[in-house]
Amino acid sequence: MAESNESVCPYCGVGCGIRYDPDRGNAVGWKGPVNQKGELCPKGAAAWDVVEHEDRLTQPLVRVNGRLVEATWEEAFDVIEREFDQILAESGADSVFFFTSSGCTNEENYLLQKTARKLGTNNIDNCARLCHSSTVAAMGNRFGAGAMTNSLEDLMEADVFLVTGANPAEQHPVIFRSYVLPALKSGTKLIHVDPRENATTKGADIHLPVKPGFDIPLLNAMAAVIVEEGLVDEAFVAERTTGFDELREYLSDLDVDAEAARAGVEPDALREAARLYGEADRAAIFTGMGMSQHHCGTDNVHTLINLPLLTGNVGKAGTGVNPLRGQNNVQGAGDVGCLPNVLPGYRDVTDADERADVAEVWGFEPPATPGLTEVEGTHRFGDEIRAAYVFGENPAVTEPNANQVKSKFEELEFCVVHDVFLTETAEYADVVLPGSVWAEKSGTVTNTDRQVIRMRKNADPPGNARPDLDILREFAERVAGLDTPETPEAIFDELCAVAPIYAGMSYDGIGTGSQRWPFPEGATDGKAILHTDSFENGSKTAPLRVVEHVDPADPVEGDELVLTTGRVLQHFNSGALTRRSGVLMRMRGEDVLQIHPDDAADRDIEDGDRVRIENDRGTVTVAAEVTPAVRRGTVFTTFHYADPLVNKLTGDALDPTAKIPEYKHSAVRVTVHAEA
Ligand code: SF4
């Protein structure tokens, strides 16, 4: 019998089953635990394009006299060992920063965070910092778990979906097509909160085109209507929450019409949305980066969490707060400890008992001081951070204020980039290590609804590229003297011994299905619905919270517009993979700036004109798409392209709790490009 090759799509957090079909010479879906009919979206269907791409790195590269030249693995690792040894000896482990990869496996990420901690630093982060760190912080604080409260399957029982700051029709297409649309066809109502009409809005009963940065007034006003109109689930509030009196008092002083106007939406539509949500037997929230990527992102999600707590929409099917995670293993990268403040299983690095527990398995105690987050780390390149290991991420494109990021990378003394293509970040590398794509590795990933799914090898890496786990094992051994298990299965077993939320899972148990965390003793599939009788932190109650609006960090002045960024169906994150797919580039080869007709007319901009978008951080040019889909005063584009590099314009004001940057609100001037 042929060895099975069922793997997982390398793109979004849905976690669709995908494998290579030799008869078709292409990737196809298999009936996975999420895409149960084997369906794929255009990105998944094009995932084979990156496997055999001519741009693949096939040989290590080492910088000599300013140029990257081919080297052997031995030569590349000799340079890495020498430079790391010297920097560690001179400046200590906290002079090094590790970027791990939410697009790589649990086992690879687990190994790299363990290596960092063996060296003596918690300076380790992943791109979850840039997408949902604020959601995780708020949900962890209130519910005791920073993950979807429910499973995709049970969410189909909802009477109402409230989708805030997310566009699942384009960004999580298989969830939308296979879970949301069937529910809508059965009568579930959809409220969509988004500054822009997009593919998700087409299925909505109510669209609230919120002004970017004004989610707190909108959600507070919805909560005020729920209280004012007697839609509070009093039994639930009495039994499962604290702080109701204080919140009620705050909300009773709010002027709903004024808050709606501040949020830029019609008061009647807001009241209707609040009633729809508050009157439903089962109302479920999907939340995305429109909520999380603000300098008040944690407070945005805190405000959102008040709605299910007021209405008893927690702990049962078809309810809860459900973050739609971006990348195929962004949930897992956090679960396995690729965060500067927690060890595997979200164990607090500052807690001596947690460190001692982990030390029993590891044979050494991890450091106690929380490390730097991703953007904080980059800001300190050339200062206390002297070296970085960048594994499968492309911060030169994805971090905000890209011109500053570029100059910080230039200041870095020593940089290793471990990736499959010569990414924009690899241009700053001293050593480039050619790794493996989804089809060339085995291991596990954890999808958006906490399902751990296995990836299986379909092909060998090209040329002298190597499996990522082999490369990380050699790095661990040569730089940190860490002896590591050889196989992904053995590393997964160690992860399950260290991370309580994974305890009891096994490779065999997962098979071609999944196991979901938490995984209580005796479980076979794991717990689908969280917080049923008590919250995951063991408390019977969760606090309701008064949250005040704070203005965006980058206020609009004069004739400036608000730039908000997002994603489209055909591309993914920095585009390092999808921009190399001929099919996807034919579907969407370049970026456009969506601008409202009135804003366009004010600036003599016509559809298709090249426009210049600028602020004090940078300038980019792009074609205009004049459309009423985007609200007046706001313009929209994506961050998928290295040219135009839109993150030149985004600001790096950070949320004080989660340290997530405010990607969703940047003041810009838009004019017709003079050379057009
Ligand atoms: Fe891949 Fe997400 Fe598309 Fe599924 S929905 S095929 S996981 S990109």
pLDDT in tens, 371-394: 999 999 999 999 999 999 999 999
Separation of alpha carbons 528 and 148, rounded Å: 9
Atom number of ligand 1 nearest to Cα 10 = 1
Is the pLDDT assigned to residue 574 strictly greater than 90?
no
pLDDT band at 4 (very low <50, low <70, confident <90, very high): confident
Strands 67-70 and 96-99: unpaired
3-state secondary structure of 669: strand
Residue 210: inside a domain, yes or no? yes
* Residues 491, 109 contacting (CB under 8 angstroms): no
Q: Do residue 304 and residue 157 come from a single domain? A: yes
Q: Do residue 318 and residue 356 come from a single domain? A: no
Q: Which domain holds residue 271?
A: 133-323
Domain count, the chain: 4
pLDDT of residue 596: 98
* Residues 126, 99 contacting (CB under 8 angstroms): yes
- Of 323, 352, 384, the residue that ends a domain is 323
Residue 523: inside a domain, yes or no? no
Q: Do residue 317 and residue 360 come from a single domain? A: no
Average pLDDT of the residues in 615-639: 96
Crossing angle of the two packed helices 297-311 and 267-279, in degrees rounded to 10: 50
- Of 485, 516, 547, the residue that ends a domain is 516
Whole-number Å distance, alpha carbon 563 to ligand 1 midpoint, is 27
Atom number of ligand 1 nearest to Cα 41 = 3
Whole-number Å distance, alpha carbon 572 to ligand 1 midpoint, is 10
pLDDT band at 675 (very low <50, low <70, confident <90, very high): low
Is the pLDDT assigned to residue 640 strictly greater than 80?
yes
Average pLDDT of the residues in 366-370: 98
Residue 428: inside a domain, yes or no? yes
Residue 20: inside a domain, yes or no? yes
Nearest CA to ligand 1 atom 1: 44
Q: What's the CATH number where 605 sits?
A: 2.40.40.20
ipTM: 0.99
Separation of alpha carbons 231 and 259, rounded Å: 19
Q: φ and ψ at 389, to 5 degrees?
A: -115, 115
Nearest CA to ligand 1 atom 3: 41
Q: Do residue 214 and residue 262 come from a single domain? A: yes
Whole-number Å distance, alpha carbon 102 to ligand 1 midpoint, is 15
Q: What's the CATH number where 94 sits?
A: 3.40.50.740
Task: Give 571 or 551, the one with higher predicted confidence.
Answer: 551
Separation of alpha carbons 42 and 23, rounded Å: 20
Atom number of ligand 1 nearest to Cα 572 = 8
Q: Do residue 567 and residue 628 come from a single domain? A: yes
Q: Over the stretch 57-77, which tens digit does the pLDDT of each residue have? A: 999 999 999 999 999 999 999
Is the pLDDT assigned to residue 575 strictly greater than 90?
no
Q: Do residue 407 and residue 259 come from a single domain? A: no
C-alpha of 360 from chain center? 31
| Strands annotated E in 189-238 | 189-193, 206-208
Q: Do residue 454 and residue 507 come from a single domain? A: yes
- Of 298, 323, 348, the residue that ends a domain is 323
Sheet holding 515-516, edge to edge: 443-446, 451-455, 515-516
Atom number of ligand 1 nearest to Cα 15 = 7
Whole-number Å distance, alpha carbon 96 to ligand 1 midpoint, is 34
Average pLDDT of the residues in 552-562: 96
Residue 142: inside a domain, yes or no? yes
Task: Write the CA distances from 97 to 350, 384, 657, integer angstroms.
Answer: 19, 10, 20
Task: Give 639 or 564, the one with higher predicted confidence.
Answer: 564
Q: CB under 6 Å to ligand 1: residues? A: 9, 11-12, 14-16, 40-41, 43-44, 172-174
pLDDT of residue 642: 80
Q: What kind and span of H or E run contains 667?
A: strand 666-672
Whole-number Å distance, alpha carbon 9 to ligand 1 midpoint, is 6
Three-state SS letters, 394-438? CHHHHCCCHHHHHHHHHHCCEEEEEECCCCCHHHHCCEEEECCCH
Average pLDDT of the residues in 586-611: 95
Burial (Cβ within 10 Å: 0-12, 13-18, ≥19) of residue 2: exposed
Average pLDDT of the residues in 241-268: 98
Is the pLDDT assigned to residue 233 strictly greater than 60?
yes
Residue 108: inside a domain, yes or no? yes
Q: Do residue 316 and residue 334 come from a single domain? A: no
- Mean residue pLDDT of the chain comes to 96
User: pTM of the entire structure?
Assistant: 0.96
Q: Do residue 262 and residue 357 come from a single domain? A: no
Is the pLDDT assigned to residue 2 strictly greater than 80?
no
Whole-number Å distance, alpha carbon 564 to ligand 1 midpoint, is 24
Find, among 57, 52, 131, the residue nearest to 392 by Cα. Answer: 57
Q: Could you tell me the two tokens for 345?
A: 């299983």
Average pLDDT of the residues in 318-335: 95
pLDDT of residue 1: 40
Average pLDDT of the residues in 553-566: 96
Nearest CA to ligand 1 atom 2: 12
Q: Could you tell me the two tokens for 112?
A: 């790299």
Residue 537: inside a domain, yes or no? no
pLDDT of residue 71: 98
Q: What's the CATH number where 27 sits?
A: 2.20.25.90
Whole-number Å distance, alpha carbon 567 to ligand 1 midpoint, is 14
Q: What's the CATH number where 317 sits?
A: 3.40.228.10
Q: Do residue 259 and residue 235 come from a single domain? A: yes
pLDDT of residue 458: 93
381 DSSP assignment: B
Residue 356: inside a domain, yes or no? yes
Atom number of ligand 1 nearest to Cα 40 = 6
Whole-number Å distance, alpha carbon 22 to ligand 1 midpoint, is 21
Q: Do residue 138 and residue 265 come from a single domain? A: yes
Give residues with Cβ within 8 angstroms of 56, minimum separation 6: 50, 420, 421, 434, 437, 462, 463, 465
Give me the percent of the chain exceeding a pLDDT of 90: 93
Q: φ and ψ at 557, to 5 degrees?
A: -125, 155
Q: Do residue 200 and residue 303 come from a single domain? A: yes
pLDDT of residue 3: 65
Average pLDDT of the residues in 93-113: 97
